[in-house]
Amino acid sequence: MRVVALSRLSQTNLLEWYDEHKRDLPWRNTNDPWAILLSEILLQQTQVSRGIVYWQRMIETFPTIESMANSSIDTVLKAWEGAGYYSRARRLHALSQLVMLPSSEGGFDGSLPSSYIALLSLPGIGPYTAAAVSSIAFGQPFACVDGNIKRVMARQQRMMEPSTKDLQSWADEYLVQLRPGDWNQALMELGATVCTPQIPQCHHCPIQSSCEGKDTPTAYPKAKKITVKKVMFWTCVEFNRQGNPIISQRKPDGLFGGLWGPQLHEGEAPDMNSEQTFIGTVEHKLSHRSMTVHVYMATRLSSQVGRHPGDVAMSVLDQKIIELVRQSGHEQTLLSEMDDMDHI
Ligand code: SF4
């Protein structure tokens, strides 16, 4: 790591700023390790404003780790519906079931462990989450490194591409041992609200005096190039006589694993026959994928068992597809034609 420290970052200034300016987020008003873990898992890939909505839904549905362990994965996915990155929900469910096992069977007797190492051994918990939960919920001295802290560190030290090791050394060096949870949150809060990616507010920054990069903050760290892959899919939605779409549950691994939806086929749609009508196109963006789905609808009602979309967990993409078909009115036309034929 480059040794430059012209002036040391003021831990006191940052903690005082945090005490005065921290956002009133619901998981900051609890000491419950389960509630804190839920917030950390949700916030990994979700903006705070949306994270609050999903956190409230999850904590109401699963107020304890035991309540999640006793629920089916389908119930967990339904509660997670819309939050995206569904592997997080699947791993959280596996974690809850592991924690509930007796220690004689490799579990934790129903209590989330407080140690960093034990947390790290649980499904879905990496170094960041283990450090965040052990410090925030249990007061253990472990330093977090996330994207916000990386940005603050890179600007303070004027580093273009700090390595994971650089970042962890820097975070470890400054960790306030007496308030590790608050310290970690203070650094992340600064990155999220003051030292922001595009328009950092250096004149409001409590650690401006030690910042080497404040004259050209947006130069640090070097922006990562995100490659977004364009992928094309097609689907043909069928309905049954009750007006429910024929959807199936996807395999646990892979895209939208464990969720329900119409069958998606990658690639361009083949030539359709007269029993399939083109309805329209749905665009959907994931972090590294831009999906275009050409949506068709079968013009014959299916004899298969359909599912009411409200009864199962579906991704936002699948909901958009079903909504597009419903809005087209084709499925209503088909249902009334079948009703008319029944009365002939
Ligand atoms: S002075 Fe500016 S660039 Fe430096 S840490 Fe504060 S907000 Fe970020």
Domain range for residue 266? Answer: 229-342
Q: Give 210 Cα–ligand 1 centroid separation in angstroms.
A: 9
User: Is 144 within 8 Å of 40 (Cβ atoms)?
Assistant: no
Give me the residue label for tokens 């009133």.
24
Whole-number pLDDT of residue 287: 86
**Is 214 a pocket residue for ligand 1 (Cβ < 6 Å)?**
yes
The dihedral sign for the CA sequence 265, 266, 271, 277: positive
The protein residue with its alpha carbon nearest to ligand 1, atom 5, reads 152
Whole-number pLDDT of residue 122: 98
**Spans in the chain with pLDDT lower than 50:** 1, 3-6
Whole-number pLDDT of residue 270: 87
Whole-number pLDDT of residue 5: 44
pLDDT tens per residue across span 127-164: 999 999 999 999 999 999 999 999 999 999 999 999 99
Residue 4 resides in a domain: no
Q: Give 318 Cα–ligand 1 centroid separation in angstroms.
A: 42
Distances (CA, A) of 91 to 73, 98, 100, 168: 10, 10, 14, 25
In angstroms, rounded to a whole number, what is the distance separating the alpha carbons of residues 331 and 322? 10
**What DSSP assignment string belongs to 41-93?**
HHHTSS-HHHHHHHHHHHHHH-SSHHHHHTS-HHHHHHHHTTS--THHHHHHH
Q: Which atom of ligand 1 is nearest to the CA of 207?
A: 6
Element (H, E) at 147: helix 147-157
Pick from 253, 169, 233: which is nearest to 1 by CA?
Answer: 169
**Helix pair 180-193, 164-174: axis angle to 10 deg:** 120
Which runs of E-coded beta strand occur in 170-326?
Answer: 229-237, 248-249, 260-261, 265-266, 276-285, 289-298
Cα atoms in the 13 Å half-sphere on the side-chain side of 196: 9
**Is 155 a pocket residue for ligand 1 (Cβ < 6 Å)?**
yes
For position 321, which CATH number holds? 3.90.79.10
Q: Which atom of ligand 1 is nearest to the CA of 208?
A: 1
In angstroms, rounded to a whole number, what is the distance separating the alpha carbons of residues 107 and 97? 8
Same domain for 137 and 176, yes or no, is yes
In terms of DSSP bridges, do strands 229-237 and 265-266 run parallel, antiparallel, or are they unpaired? antiparallel
pTM here is 0.91
Residue 299 resides in a domain: yes
Q: Give 209 Cα–ligand 1 centroid separation in angstroms.
A: 9
Same domain for 242 and 310, yes or no, is yes
Q: Which atom of ligand 1 is nearest to the CA of 152?
A: 5
- The domain boundary, picked from 175, 198, 218, lies at 218
Whole-number pLDDT of residue 148: 97
- The domain boundary, picked from 184, 218, 252, lies at 218
Residue 177 resides in a domain: yes
Cis peptide bond N-terminal to 162, omega within 30: no
**Which of the residues are catalytic?**
40
Whole-number pLDDT of residue 335: 85
Same domain for 160 and 283, yes or no, is no
Choose which residue among 10, 195, 198, 204 to substitute to test ligand 1 binding: the one with the highest number of ligand atoms within 8 A of its C-beta.
195
